[in-house]
Amino acid sequence: MRICSLLPSATEIVYALGLGDQLVGVSHACDYPAGASAKPVVSRGLRQITHLESSEIDAIIRQSRANGNPLYWIDGELLRELKPDLIITQELCEVCAISSGSVFETAAKVLDYTPKILTVRPNTLEDILKNVRNIAVAGRVPERGRELETLLRQRVHRVSAEVSDLPGKPRVLCLDWLDPLRNTGQWLPELVELAGGLEGLAVKGGLSRELTWLEVVEYGPEYLMVMPCAFGPERGRAEALETLPAHPGWGELPAVRDGKAFLFDGTVPSRHGPRVVDVLEGLAEALYPEKFEGLTPPGIFEKRPIF
């Protein structure tokens, strides 16, 4: 089977299922595991303009939406050459990956056959596990999907069972973008809850939204998880140190005052693949290091406070 994955999360699932050798094309953002970077790149996007500040990227995205211009596009000629049997796309976030509508449209134009197009629509952890099963079935390895799902569920249960009897849940704020400030959505508030915290400014299964600084101050997060979407640790740290302390009363936030602000690799939490459980373990270790010390795989978050 010849598989083309147009989003990083699906690429990670494909590799986790042992189908990496059948992956013939990926998106511009597919960089994990290492083998994905060697695959032909089928899509391009505006967010590849990496030298811009967060506020400038946000302005470009807003303008593109207002004008009805696409943020991503497919190399139709390359897609024709690759001749995929299965194309995996998404209906979740037009800012993160190419939309399924564009995939159907391009495939119909450039291919002289009809490939299977699998569209994933994750909003919760359960949706992510379902997508693992669906991709495994589409890739003709359903038993591997069941095995991977079981392993992921066992890791989730280990964390949730350990914190289930704790008397209170600390207030947590996960920042998905720094300028302007945005919280997280979809599965992240659920992961915080499973890890023994409360994401009071977000909705489980809901959308990320822009926050006012007054909301943040009034909420008074006891833990702050800095995870700007698609930014690795180096860029995330630089922008956090530059932009966040400029807010009035920054040092008065309980999370900052008490040294409980942590930097996550922003390329991971927004991806709905197997490493979503790594993020859960990272949140749990940040909140309760005495219970989960050493649990998190390397590189998910920095265990020393960022501020």
Q: What is the pLDDT of residues 112-144, one digit of tens each?
A: 999 999 999 899 999 999 999 999 999 999 999
Domain range spanning residue 228?
166-292
Mean pLDDT of the chain: 91
Residues 78-97 pLDDT 10s: 999 999 999 999 876 555 55
**Looking at the domain assignment, is residue 134 inside a domain?**
no
The reply to whether 93 and 178 lie within a common domain is no
Please, what is the Cα angle at 231 between 228 and 234, to 5 degrees? 110
Among 121, 136, 154, identify where a domain stops: 121
Using DSSP, state whether 294 is helix, strand or coil.
Answer: coil
Per-residue model confidence (pLDDT) at position 304: 96
**Looking at the domain assignment, is residue 171 inside a domain?**
yes
The reply to whether 103 and 214 lie within a common domain is no
pLDDT for 69 beyond 50: no
**Looking at the domain assignment, is residue 251 inside a domain?**
yes
DSSP string, 126-161: HHHHHHHHHHHHHTT-HHHHHHHHHHHHHHHHHHHH
Residue that has been written with the tokens 């099963």 in this structure: 133
The verdict on whether omega for the bond into residue 180 sits within 30 degrees of 0, i.e. cis, is yes
Residues 170-224 pLDDT 10s: 999 999 999 999 999 999 999 999 999 999 999 999 999 999 999 999 999 999 9
Of the candidates 200, 126, 194, the residue with the CA atom closest to the CA atom of residue 163: 194
Report pTM: 0.90
**Looking at the domain assignment, is residue 75 inside a domain?**
yes
CATH code of the domain in which 58 resides: 3.40.50.1980
**Looking at the domain assignment, is residue 132 inside a domain?**
no
Token representation of residue 69: 């211009």
Cα distances (angstroms) measured from residue 141 to each of 5, 63, 85, 135, 274: 16, 42, 15, 9, 16
Lowest average pLDDT, out of 68-72, 158-162, 243-247, goes to 68-72
Look up residue 228 and give its amino acid: P
Mean local confidence (pLDDT), 94-119: 80
**Looking at the domain assignment, is residue 300 inside a domain?**
no
DSSP assignment, residue 264? Answer: B
Q: pLDDT tier at 62 (50, 70, 90 boundaries)?
A: low
